[in-house]
Amino acid sequence: MMTGKTPFAPRSSVEQVEEGHTLSPRFDADGLLPVVTTEAAGGDVLMLGYMNAEALAKTIETGEAHYFSRSRQVLWHKGATSGLVQRVVDLRIDDDQDAVWLKVEVAGSGASCHVGYRSCFYRTIPTGQPPSPDLELIYREDEKTFDPQQVYGDAPNPTKL
């Protein structure tokens, strides 16, 4: 855990945060900020995760994606269990510095989703009429890239109802 002094610059004005050259991230009440992870080749969104200050610092230092696992409440080096490490090709911060965009190359099968798909966003919501409980999602990936049971074994599923 990082304690005491932060490795980031203070947020002293809106102009500095939006138009400056200093990294001054804003973490939410839980100490987290959301992270969009896209595939460098192709640009698909692979996942949406979260970082705390330590995960952001580790990602910057190592060039490999580190997140904070909300389900397990620990620093999470993506791929440590599955081998599907995400190498950072570009790391961006947004205008008000409360969100991060990671452009990555994924090791191994190239998957980033614990269900086994390449992207977590494997289903489309059809548009053009008001939603109803009968709405049917459309699958955009035909098959899983790995067997989650084989990779994760009996580890608890992070999905919460």
Name residues contacting a copy of itself, limited to 62-81 (CB under 8 A).
62-63
Instruction: Indicate whether 14 belongs to the interface with a copy of itself (CB under 8 A).
Output: yes
3-state secondary structure 47-98: EEEEECHHHHHHHHHHCECEEEECCCCEEEECCCCCCCCEEEEEEEECCCCC
Instruction: Indicate whether 90 belongs to the interface with a copy of itself (CB under 8 A).
Output: yes
Backbone angles phi and psi of 53, in degrees to 5? -60, -40
**Which residue in 74, 80, 83, 140 binds a copy of itself (CB under 8 A)?**
140
Instruction: Indicate whether 153 belongs to the interface with a copy of itself (CB under 8 A).
Output: no
Site for a copy of itself in 34-63 (CB under 8 A): 34, 36, 38, 42-45, 47-48, 56-57, 59-63
Q: Report d(CA 110, CA 83) in Å as an integer.
A: 10
Residue 141 Cβ vs a copy of itself, minimum distance, rounded to whole Å: 11
- Whether 37 contacts 54, CB under 8 Å: no
Give the total of residues touching a copy of itself (CB under 8 A).
Answer: 71
Residue 128 Cβ vs a copy of itself, minimum distance, rounded to whole Å: 6
